[in-house]
């Protein structure tokens, strides 16, 4: 596996952060990348953020100028749209999923459909917790369609001062909640009860930033970021209705997200994450916040269970690499986008800059 950097979305005046996005191929063959474009002075997770798009007609070599496609509505107490997932819907629409953060301290995932290839977006449908407010985190590039046509995503539910509803106190310890749609995204429901790490576990994160993958035969595999030195994992054998208790996975990791996706061109699975070799004794950068999210590696698998040894894609000790999105061009090539801040003086943290690269698989 070899990586070639193609393009970057760098922070600038009035645009302090570009992060968490996803790819899709348009009907005319162009590739679109849609991401979280912060607009203003702050790059904080809760700062004002819009959804923007760029397109490429040459497989990612060059990209168009950015165009904003969704802005928060202050009249609805919205101040942040971020963390994009994209999907081609059964009727040909493009599904644009993103988090909506509102005051005071609430977040949920919505779906808006585009029937004109991202020129305009329809009305939002609430995906996560359709009937209950709360703070639900869903990462970018995280919605899947199973072989049977069910749409699935997972959220980390974080307690606030009023239990699991709006309030002014936030707990980082998450519980994983799963949501499904059997009508192509028009309605959604919560499947099982939330799953969590045991209460006696020494963890401040709990289960954060979950992802889902369908394995051969229909078994579903979920993975979670933790502060316990590994990604944790769970499985479902009934289409996501119920999940087994989470346990440590084979993937060592700092408190950083992982992404696993299946290449539809060759049915192989590819994982992107930050491993933690000798993590407790590694010297971390003192200049900027990176969270130990280095190196950035990829591994492949024929079955989604047994993975190859990882190949290092990025390994700059002054930078951090995280929140990847992956888009397969063919059996041997993929585009990936990921936060890669920390090298340039403008990057006060890892999340300010997004890089688009090509990986020869």
**Distance of alpha carbon 81 from alpha carbon 51, whole angstroms:** 6
pLDDT in the model for residue 129:
73
Give the HSE-up count for residue 239: Cα atoms under 13 Å, Cβ half-sphere.
12
pLDDT in the model for residue 288:
54
Do you find a cis peptide bond into 104, omega within 30 degrees of 0?
yes
Which residues of the chain are modeled with pLDDT < 50?
Answer: 163-167, 286-287
Residue 279 near residue 292 (C-beta atoms within 8 A): yes
Give the HSE-up count for residue 345: Cα atoms under 13 Å, Cβ half-sphere.
0
pLDDT in the model for residue 163:
47
Which tokens sit at 81? 């749209």
**Distance of alpha carbon 10 from alpha carbon 43, whole angstroms:** 12
State the alpha helices, DSSP H only, in 163-227: none
Residue 160 near residue 150 (C-beta atoms within 8 A): no
**Distance of alpha carbon 10 from alpha carbon 210, whole angstroms:** 27
Scan for tokens 């119920």, then name that residue.
Answer: 242
Q: Which pairs with CB-CB distance under 8 Å and at least 24 residues apart come from 303-307?
A: 303/215, 303/216, 303/269, 304/213, 304/215, 304/216, 304/221, 304/260, 304/262, 304/269, 305/215, 305/221, 307/250, 307/269, 307/271
pLDDT in the model for residue 125:
96
**Distance of alpha carbon 225 from alpha carbon 118, whole angstroms:** 31
pLDDT in the model for residue 164:
46
pLDDT in the model for residue 160:
74
pLDDT in the model for residue 277:
60
Q: Indicate the class that CATH gives domain 19-317.
A: mainly beta
Residue 274 near residue 294 (C-beta atoms within 8 A): yes
Q: Tell me phi and psi for residue 160, to 5 degrees.
A: -120, -175
Q: Which pairs with CB-CB distance under 8 Å and at least 24 residues apart come from 305-311?
A: 305/215, 305/221, 307/250, 307/269, 307/271, 310/271, 310/275, 311/1
Strand bridging mode 78-88 / 208-214: unpaired
Give the pLDDT confidence of 212-240 residue by residue, as tens digits.
Answer: 999 999 999 999 999 999 999 999 999 99
CA 137, distance to chain mean position in Å, is 10
Nearest to 287 by CA among 344, 338, 339: 344
- Listing DSSP states for 9-21 in one string gives E--BTTB--EEEE
pLDDT in the model for residue 303:
96
Residue 184 near residue 91 (C-beta atoms within 8 A): yes
Q: Where are the domains of the chain?
A: 19-317
């Amino acid at each position: 596996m070899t990586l070639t950097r193609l393009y970057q979305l760098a922070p600038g005046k009035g645009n302090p952060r570009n992060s968490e996005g996803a790819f899709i191929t348009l009907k005319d063959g162009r590739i679109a990348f849609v991401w979280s474009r912060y607009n203003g002075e702050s790059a904080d997770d809760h700062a004002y953020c819009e959804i923007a798009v760029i397109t490429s007609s040459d497989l990612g070599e060059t990209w168009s100028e950015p165009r904003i496609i969704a802005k928060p509505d202050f009249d609805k107490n919205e101040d942040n749209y971020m963390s994009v997932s994209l999907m081609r819907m059964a009727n040909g629409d493009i599904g644009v999923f993103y988090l909506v953060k509102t005051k005071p301290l609430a977040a949920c995932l919505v779906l808006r459909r585009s029937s004109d290839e991202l020129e305009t977006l329809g009305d939002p449908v609430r995906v996560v917790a359709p009937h209950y407010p709360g703070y639900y985190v869903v990462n970018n590039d995280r919605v899947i369609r199973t072989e049977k046509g069910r749409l699935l995503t997972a959220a980390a539910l974080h307690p606030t001062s009023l239990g699991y509803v709006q309030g002014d106190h936030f707990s980082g310890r998450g519980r994983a909640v799963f949501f499904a749609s059997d009508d192509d995204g028009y309605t959604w429901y919560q499947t099982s009860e939330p799953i969590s790490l045991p209460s006696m576990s020494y963890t401040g994160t709990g289960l954060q930033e979950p992802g889902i993958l369908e394995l051969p035969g229909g078994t579903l595999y979920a993975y979670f970021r933790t502060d316990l030195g590994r990604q944790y994992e769970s499985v479902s054998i009934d289409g996501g209705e119920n999940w087994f208790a989470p346990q440590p996975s084979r993937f060592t990791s700092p408190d950083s997200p992982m992404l696993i996706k299946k290449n539809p061109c060759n049915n192989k699975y590819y994982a992107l994450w930050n491993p933690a070799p000798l993590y407790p004794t590694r010297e971390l950068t003192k200049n900027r916040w990176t969270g130990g999210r280095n190196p950035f590696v990829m591994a492949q698998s024929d079955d989604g269970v047994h993975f190859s040894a990882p190949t290092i894609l990025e390994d700059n000790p002054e930078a951090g690499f995280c929140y990847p999105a992956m888009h397969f061009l063919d059996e041997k090539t993929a585009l990936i986008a990921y936060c890669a801040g920390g090298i340039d003086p403008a990057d006060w943290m890892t999340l300010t800059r997004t890089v688009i690269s090509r990986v020869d698989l």
